[in-house]
Chain A
Amino acid sequence: SQTIHQWPATLVQPVGSPLSLECTVEGTSNPNLYWYRQAAGRGLQLLFYSVGIGQISSEVPQNLSASRPQDRQFILSSKKLLLSDSGFYLCAWRTGHPEGTDTQYFGPGTRLTVL
């Protein structure tokens, strides 16, 4: 069966510091991968998605970037965090097979607090 991991679970960082959040998926190959942010009291905002290694689509211009160095690894980064980057970050995957389901499966999330 497939599982998705995110770490760290929680993170407290000062303004201006760098960020690296990691997401890995097990039990599947060539998945589509997604990064979402959920700010306090707000819905989910899609930040990035990837359909393959090195292929990143950015949904919202902002202070963040994403990379996919391996098939089942998705990394969210920032060079300098802003207060507005605080939130709950969720990684998700879906099968990359063209005939496969469009269902996305979510990781446990990372709570980021920027002070």
Chain B
Amino acid sequence: AQSVTQLDSHVSVSEGTPVLLRCNYSSSYSPSLFWYVQHPNKGLQLLLKYTSAATLVKGINGFEAEFKKSETSFHLTKPSAHMSDAAEYFCVVYSGYNKLIFGAGTRLAVHP
């Protein structure tokens, strides 16, 4: 069965410093993996998606994620945080049955 684990419930960074949001997955086959972002009282917006074409996936707003099969990880990174990046981030895996499986979420705070 597929699952995802987001290793940090809260991450706090200063503006201009790097962002690292960690996600480990479990899958019996090559997974489809996603990162979504949710700003307060908003819907979820797709940041990026991994589909086995390339292990380093570039997304919107300067985010990228690297798929590491040996570590079963799909961590989200950004070189320099902006105040507007403050939001909740979800790591997601496709279950294979028309459904997505969501991680518990990581709340990112960005301080001036």
Q: Give the interface of A toward B (CB within 8 A).
A: 32, 42-44, 46, 49, 51, 88, 90, 92, 94, 102-109, 111
Contact = CB atoms under 8 A, between A and B. Distances in A.
Contacts, number: 39
Given A103-B34, A106-B43, 19 more contacts: A42-B104, A44-B44, A44-B90, A44-B102, A46-B99, A46-B100, A49-B99, A51-B98, A88-B41, A90-B43, A90-B44, A94-B98, A102-B32, A102-B100, A103-B46, A103-B49, A106-B36, A108-B43, A109-B41
A109 B43 contact: yes
A103 B49 CA distance: 8
A78 to B, nearest CB: 21
Contacts of B90: 43-44
Interface in B19-72: 32, 34, 36, 41-46, 49
Contacts of A43: 90, 102-105
> Which range contains the number of B residues in contact with the other chain?
10 to 19
Contacts of B49: 103
Contacts of A105: 46
Nearest to B49: A103
Nearest to A102: B94
Nearest to A57: B98
Interface in B75-104: 90, 94, 98-100, 102-104
A102 B30 CA distance: 14
